[in-house]
Chain A
Amino acid sequence: MAIVATDWTITRATGIIDYTGNDHGGGSPSYATVIEFHRWVQDLADDPEFTGSTGDELDIIDNTPSDRSTDNIITLINGFTITPAAAEHLYDGSVISGDIGVDRIVYDGIVNFGNADVQIQIMQDGVVLVDDWWNFSGAGLNADPNAGISHRFMLKTHDFAGDGGDIDGRRLVGTTRTFGNTYAEFKINGTSNGNNVLALVDSNDLNNDTAEGTVATWTTIDNTTEGFVQLDVNNNGSDEDYYSEWNRDTYTINQFYERMKWLTRDGSTSTLYGLNGELFRGITHELDVDGGTGTWGTPEHEEITWGSGATAGTARLLAVDNKTGSSATKIWFQILTGVVPTDNATITGTTSTATADAELSGGALTERPISTPFVGASTGSALIGSYGLSLETADLSASDTVFDLTNTAVYPPNNVTFTVGGVVSGEDRVLVTNNAAGDIDFTQMALASLLNGATVTAVDVGLGNIPADTPSTGTIRIERDDGLYSRHPFSVYDSGNQTFTITSHDFSANNASAANDVFVSYIDKLAAATSESFTTVYNADRTLFVRVRDGGTAGDNEGIKTAETTGVLGTNGGSVTINRISDV
């Protein structure tokens, strides 16, 4: 569509070229490519005289108004400029005006290859541009569906008088965050003159079908810890590092996922880590630091800055591994403007005033992957989390995956529970052991060394001999030299699956010699409820031997016949129900 000349004016005295037609939402707004615009002004420029009624004050007596580098790069020269309104009605390239270092303004072309109804937002210079006029009536301006183009428009990327030059290095981040749809983002690390491509597509997110208004009410989903936090998500006895610990309360993991999308959707007014949800993207960089000073805030998130001029940058601090500045060795942040820190650049918290020096000679600056949405992906029943984000361990299941701040996948354990039901509290003695042909597996383990001390707390059964699915706490039985099996609670066992730490016990009078039997008594107690259970981390199916006895000395004072059975502890746990047969 050629330019609609009646929608444009040129003022000879000022060189201002303005769009005066209908606005985007008006009756018949018009748009023109930059080459059509160039052709139009050039057409006027070789006229013998302008026609007063058109408002196009340009003809042969005027200086040349424009110069074409390519069909997509037009430079207005000799003082001619376009207004912001005009810029909103031109597309498919760049329009440059003004003198370098004086009053130069550059509008660069943005082309999004995406689905026709995708709605996109632009982050520029640390903010999400408020006026997204390029999204129009549920579609994009100047779309070309045949070419797979959803939007074509121009953005100001350089304004010497207004911004001192390039606007944030002409860096842009395009996002699409329509709640209910998939999210995406696409970075332009410095626009070039001409068209700059975004590739933002979205589609219905099948795991995000709850009404927006409903998700808005899930306010008990809370960011328990904002900032550096250490969690043993995989229950391996060693904590991993995260920048966030969320509590999903009673909501499912998918509902948690939807809530995270809601917080960061287009139009969000929520605040995450001190940033508007629309602007929050998650950690973009991990940086080794040293030489810090002061104390970082609690929570850590605050604006941090470094450098000046071409080396300047700002970011939102999301985690620091030690709030004592002098002890901090790593920080994690979402960059907002500028460039990443150079070696030894001093990074300063604008609120805490704490500092840290970038350590790139002995350390590293690592760009971390961005997830869209920032929380990661949902399978509907599990979360594939994003870099550094975790939930409370109890809010995770074995089907979830999170990534710690080393970007290592961390898998929560499969905590399975074996339940013995049908027991009577206060009467029944319950014993659950590994099954050995319908009996206790006495030889499940064997002592590696003599126990004869008065305060024995370590029970060595040999390296790797403690079964992997042994609960982290519980009880074991140890064969004493007198032939009896004494019961010993243990609070932990070592990572080598070799040594139990038991409650201190005197073996001096009744030793337990090496090679004596040791077995785990998974349940080894008087029933305190109608059922008893234990939880452990599933490793492989295990057949358990269950014995329940009531000697009739408590409760109803009626004994039962010894009840024995077996059950399997599988991936989903297991259970047995005791058939109590009175022995009266």
Chain B
Amino acid sequence: MAVAAYATDLTDITTAETISGWSALGGGQSGLSDETDYFIQGSQCVSKTGFTATTKGQLFNAGTTTITAGDAVFIWVKQNNRNLMDTVALGGSQVCMGSGTGAFDRFYTDGNDSDGSALAGWRTYCVDPTDTPSATTGSPGAYTYFGNQWKIQGSGSLKGNPNGIDAIRHGREIQCTAGEAANYATFDGAAVYDSATTRAWGLITPASGSYQFHGAFVMGTSGTAVDFRDSDRVIVVLEDEFVPSGFNEFEIRNASSNVEWNNIQITALGATSPGILTLDVGTFTGVACFFTDLATTIFNSSSTVTGCTWNRCEAVTPDGADMSGSSILAPDVAANNSGLIWNVNTDPDGLLDGMEFSKTSGTAHHAIEFGLSIPTTSITLRDCNFGTDFSATEDGSTGDETFHFKDTTGTITLNLVSCTGNFGYRTDGVVVTVVADPVTTAVNVKNSAGSNISGARVLLRASDGTGPLPYQDSVTITQSAGTATVTHTAHGLVTGNYVVITGASPEEYNKQAQITVTGVDAYTYSVDSGLSSPATGTPVSTGAIISGTTNASGNITDSRTLASDQPVTGYARKSTTTPFYKSGRISGVVDNVNGVSFNIILIVDE
């Protein structure tokens, strides 16, 4: 790449380098001056003599001006008598846009009661011209006049020209592109570039060791990627009342862009457009960042966000990002919504490890929402702290359960490894099994050449009665409409577990079956309809740890909580399609603390 470059999509309405085109509001045309004593952009601004107990200002006739939807008008304004302005609500400082000096809309942007009003200085007001103005003078048509007026209270100063307006522009973005070692794109680089006298875009402005920002901070463009790396910055997102909610944004563009933030702190000053983090393009790495009061955040699976904190922010959507060690604290989400939304077909195991979640007082929201696209069998969270403010109710409906499963059908097991806090959940229909601190039983199946075998069928069941799983427990079975109902005293199983039924007659009752628990002493599984009922013979049920086929990596695993070690036995078989293998016997003990891994080698049978 090349050295970092910065640009903007702002278009000048005026740079106020001359009073030509300016008109006084409230009279006093003669009081307008080419002000060279103070300015922020170029070599002058347009000032107006002081006045008192009235409202006056100046407008620039820009002629026909087209402002792209979503953009806003940025106007530099300075009022040296800030303490004499009226309040914001009463129009202390008003951005004016209209079709003439007698027809304009007024947007109340500042006043003596606004934050930092005691401090004199230039301010950029950002106003979306499509927003609803605070007040209107006359009947303005299409905006051709742009300026500002102030409502000065009595006993105002009449000294000098305290009412200045500098560059007026429309647009939204500051764009960072390129970047290379020792000259990466940075917040500071962008701010310094922005605030140069020749530009003074007013998008990101250095301010006392931090940066004031509004607009869109774009990292990379569709045509040029960026290598953006910065650390230890504090950025405040300015509160502009007259912009839409999504106006302020930090956005990555270009799939080749690389953005690395280390200890970047971004705080929104207001709620109108608190700032969206759209970081789901290219590669983003965030370390120890701290976001306060921001809007939504979205990443992609290439993102790594470790040790970062979202405080009072809207929902975070990782989309597969690694957010290990991050925190979602007191999120600004509605009732029955969640601070973090996981909606990708990826087990969050290893991606959300060590996260901390806290609940916003007074709002019945969840910590994590699991969407429709998550894995269909089981997911795992490790070392997460959910606190005790979320509801611990399983299958609750108060909206403040820790987890919210959005799927409406099927079964899912949520394994919580070394997690703390309450583990309640709400489900929209999917049958959820929460297993706290499970151990993993892993079976890897290889051939003698060391290659993984995909599609090998594995069955691992209790081999004796010394473990927590049932072993050849006597049961009774009835059948109705293809559902076998098993009466199994204190079975200790959960929905989705497998059992092996043997000894029943007709033979069709005997199988390995995935069960649906209907009570502490009963569960059901599917059989052929029409079987004589009840089953005769001496039916017994044995719990199974694993039943299924290995994946492309030759693995099949199970996670569950075991009260004690579980002896198991079973088979790994692949003998339906070539290459055929001899049946492999599995035997061992699942340690209830450490789990177990079985490495099975199947011998070719052809």
Which of A13, A46, A59, A67 gathers the greatest number of chain B CB atoms within 10 Å? A46
**A45 touching B583, Cβ below 8 Å:** yes
Out of A42, A50, A67, which one reaches B511, CB within 8 Å? A50
Interface flag for A49 (CB, 8 Å): yes
Contact residues in B for A39 (Cβ distance below 8 Å): 575, 580
Interface flag for B48 (CB, 8 Å): no
Interface flag for B510 (CB, 8 Å): yes
Contact residues in B for A50 (Cβ distance below 8 Å): 511
Contact residues in B for A404 (Cβ distance below 8 Å): none
**A60 touching B512, Cβ below 8 Å:** yes
Compute how far the CA of A57 lies from the CA of B575 in the bound complex, rounded to whole angstroms.
Answer: 16
**B573 touching A42, Cβ below 8 Å:** yes
**Closest CB in chain A relative to B479 CB, distance in Å:** 12
In chain A between 34 and 68, which residues have their CB closer than 8 angstroms to a CB of chain B?
Answer: 39, 42-43, 45-50, 52-53, 57, 59-61, 64, 67-68
Interface flag for A487 (CB, 8 Å): no
Contact residues in A for B295 (Cβ distance below 8 Å): none
Compute how far the CA of A513 lies from the CA of B457 in the bound complex, rounded to whole angstroms.
Answer: 113
Interface flag for B131 (CB, 8 Å): no
**B510 touching A61, Cβ below 8 Å:** yes
Interface residues on A, range: 20 to 34
Interface flag for A24 (CB, 8 Å): no
Compute how far the CA of A514 lies from the CA of B511 in the bound complex, rounded to whole angstroms.
Answer: 114
Known pairs A39-B580, A52-B528, A61-B500; A46 contacts B575 (CB<8 A): yes
Interface flag for A12 (CB, 8 Å): yes
Chain A residue nearest to B584 (CB atoms) is A64
Chain B residue nearest to A49 (CB atoms) is B511
Contact residues in A for B66 (Cβ distance below 8 Å): none
Known pairs A45-B573, A52-B528; A61 contacts B502 (CB<8 A): yes
**Closest CB in chain B relative to A40 CB, distance in Å:** 10
Compute how far the CA of A48 lies from the CA of B456 in the bound complex, rounded to whole angstroms.
Answer: 11
**Closest CB in chain B relative to A195 CB, distance in Å:** 18
**Closest CB in chain B relative to A182 CB, distance in Å:** 41
Interface flag for B237 (CB, 8 Å): no
**A64 touching B580, Cβ below 8 Å:** no
Chain B residue nearest to A45 (CB atoms) is B573
Chain B residue nearest to A13 (CB atoms) is B507
Known pairs A12-B507, A68-B605; A60 contacts B580 (CB<8 A): no
**Closest CB in chain B relative to A17 CB, distance in Å:** 15
Contact residues in A for B574 (Cβ distance below 8 Å): 46
**A60 touching B573, Cβ below 8 Å:** yes
Interface flag for B576 (CB, 8 Å): yes
Known pairs A46-B576, A48-B457, A61-B459; A67 contacts B512 (CB<8 A): no
**B583 touching A42, Cβ below 8 Å:** yes
Interface flag for B571 (CB, 8 Å): yes
**A43 touching B512, Cβ below 8 Å:** no
Contact residues in A for B500 (Cβ distance below 8 Å): 61
Contact residues in B for A71 (Cβ distance below 8 Å): 606
**A52 touching B457, Cβ below 8 Å:** no
Compute how far the CA of A50 lies from the CA of B510 in the bound complex, rounded to whole angstroms.
Answer: 9
Out of B456, B512, B575, B606, which one reaches A61, CB within 8 Å? B512
**Closest CB in chain B relative to A86 CB, distance in Å:** 19
In chain B between 566 and 583, which residues have their CB closer than 8 angstroms to a CB of chain A?
Answer: 571, 573-576, 580, 582-583
**B582 touching A59, Cβ below 8 Å:** no
**Closest CB in chain B relative to A74 CB, distance in Å:** 11
**Closest CB in chain B relative to A52 CB, distance in Å:** 4
Compute how far the CA of A46 lies from the CA of B570 in the bound complex, rounded to whole angstroms.
Answer: 12
Which of B508, B512, B583 gathers the greatest number of chain A CB atoms within 10 Å? B583
**Closest CB in chain B relative to A444 CB, distance in Å:** 87
In chain A between 11 and 41, which residues have their CB closer than 8 angstroms to a CB of chain B?
Answer: 12-13, 39
Contact residues in B for A46 (Cβ distance below 8 Å): 456-457, 573-576, 583
Known pairs A12-B510, A49-B511; A60 contacts B571 (CB<8 A): yes
Contact residues in B for A52 (Cβ distance below 8 Å): 506-508, 528
Out of A13, A57, A60, which one reaches B459, CB within 8 Å? A60
Q: How many residues of B contact A (CB 8 A)?
A: 26
Known pairs A45-B583, A48-B547, A50-B511; A60 contacts B457 (CB<8 A): yes
Chain A residue nearest to B503 (CB atoms) is A13
Compute how far the CA of A209 lies from the CA of B567 in the bound complex, rounded to whole angstroms.
Answer: 76
Compute how far the CA of A12 lies from the CA of B508 in the bound complex, rounded to whole angstroms.
Answer: 10
Interface flag for B513 (CB, 8 Å): yes
Compute how far the CA of A52 lies from the CA of B582 in the bound complex, rounded to whole angstroms.
Answer: 25
In chain A between 311 and 357, which residues have their CB closer than 8 angstroms to a CB of chain B?
Answer: none
Contact residues in B for A42 (Cβ distance below 8 Å): 573, 575-576, 580, 583, 605
**Closest CB in chain A relative to B147 CB, distance in Å:** 77
Contact residues in B for A45 (Cβ distance below 8 Å): 571, 573, 575, 583
Compute how far the CA of A46 lies from the CA of B456 in the bound complex, rounded to whole angstroms.
Answer: 8
Contact residues in A for B512 (Cβ distance below 8 Å): 48-49, 59-61
Contact residues in A for B457 (Cβ distance below 8 Å): 46-48, 60
Contact residues in B for A57 (Cβ distance below 8 Å): 507, 510
Contact residues in B for A67 (Cβ distance below 8 Å): 582
**Closest CB in chain A relative to B513 CB, distance in Å:** 7
Contact residues in B for A59 (Cβ distance below 8 Å): 511-512
Compute how far the CA of A53 lies from the CA of B530 in the bound complex, rounded to whole angstroms.
Answer: 12
Which of A47, A48, A53, A61 gathers the greatest number of chain B CB atoms within 10 Å? A61
Compute how far the CA of A416 lies from the CA of B459 in the bound complex, rounded to whole angstroms.
Answer: 91
In chain B between 542 and 599, which residues have their CB closer than 8 angstroms to a CB of chain A?
Answer: 547, 571, 573-576, 580, 582-583, 585
Compute how far the CA of A46 lies from the CA of B459 in the bound complex, rounded to whole angstroms.
Answer: 9
Contact residues in A for B576 (Cβ distance below 8 Å): 42-43, 46-47
Chain A residue nearest to B526 (CB atoms) is A49
**Closest CB in chain B relative to A35 CB, distance in Å:** 9
Compute how far the CA of A45 lies from the CA of B571 in the bound complex, rounded to whole angstroms.
Answer: 10
Compute how far the CA of A46 lies from the CA of B510 in the bound complex, rounded to whole angstroms.
Answer: 15
**Closest CB in chain A relative to B565 CB, distance in Å:** 23
**Closest CB in chain B relative to A85 CB, distance in Å:** 21
In chain B between 464 and 506, which residues have their CB closer than 8 angstroms to a CB of chain A?
Answer: 500, 502, 506
Compute how far the CA of A47 lies from the CA of B548 in the bound complex, rounded to whole angstroms.
Answer: 10
Contact residues in A for B547 (Cβ distance below 8 Å): 48, 60
Chain B residue nearest to A12 (CB atoms) is B507
Interface string of B197-215 (1 = CB under 8 A from A): 0000000000000000000
**Closest CB in chain B relative to A216 CB, distance in Å:** 54
Chain A residue nearest to B576 (CB atoms) is A43
**Closest CB in chain B relative to A79 CB, distance in Å:** 14
Compute how far the CA of A213 lies from the CA of B23 in the bound complex, rounded to whole angstroms.
Answer: 140
Compute how far the CA of A59 lies from the CA of B528 in the bound complex, rounded to whole angstroms.
Answer: 16
Compute how far the CA of A333 lies from the CA of B507 in the bound complex, rounded to whole angstroms.
Answer: 57
Interface string of A84-101 (1 = CB under 8 A from B): 000000000000000000
**Closest CB in chain A relative to B585 CB, distance in Å:** 8
Compute how far the CA of A508 lies from the CA of B15 in the bound complex, rounded to whole angstroms.
Answer: 183
**Closest CB in chain A relative to B514 CB, distance in Å:** 10
**Closest CB in chain A relative to B350 CB, distance in Å:** 30
Chain B residue nearest to A52 (CB atoms) is B508
**A residues bordering B, Cβ < 8 Å?**
12-13, 39, 42-43, 45-50, 52-53, 57, 59-61, 64, 67-68, 71
| 14 more CB-based (< 8 A) A-B contacts, given A39-B580, A46-B576, A57-B510 | A12-B507, A12-B510, A13-B507, A42-B573, A45-B571, A46-B583, A48-B457, A52-B506, A52-B508, A53-B528, A60-B457, A60-B512, A61-B512, A67-B582
A-B contact pairs, 30 of them (CB 8 A): A39-B575, A42-B573, A42-B575, A42-B576, A42-B580, A42-B583, A42-B605, A45-B571, A45-B573, A45-B575, A45-B583, A46-B456, A46-B457, A46-B573, A46-B575, A46-B576, A46-B583, A48-B547, A49-B513, A50-B511, A52-B507, A52-B508, A57-B507, A59-B511, A60-B512, A61-B461, A61-B510, A61-B511, A68-B582, A71-B606
| The 10 A-B residue pairs with the shortest CB-CB distance in the complex, in nearest-first order | A42-B575, A46-B573, A52-B508, A64-B583, A49-B511, A46-B457, A60-B459, A43-B576, A61-B500, A61-B512
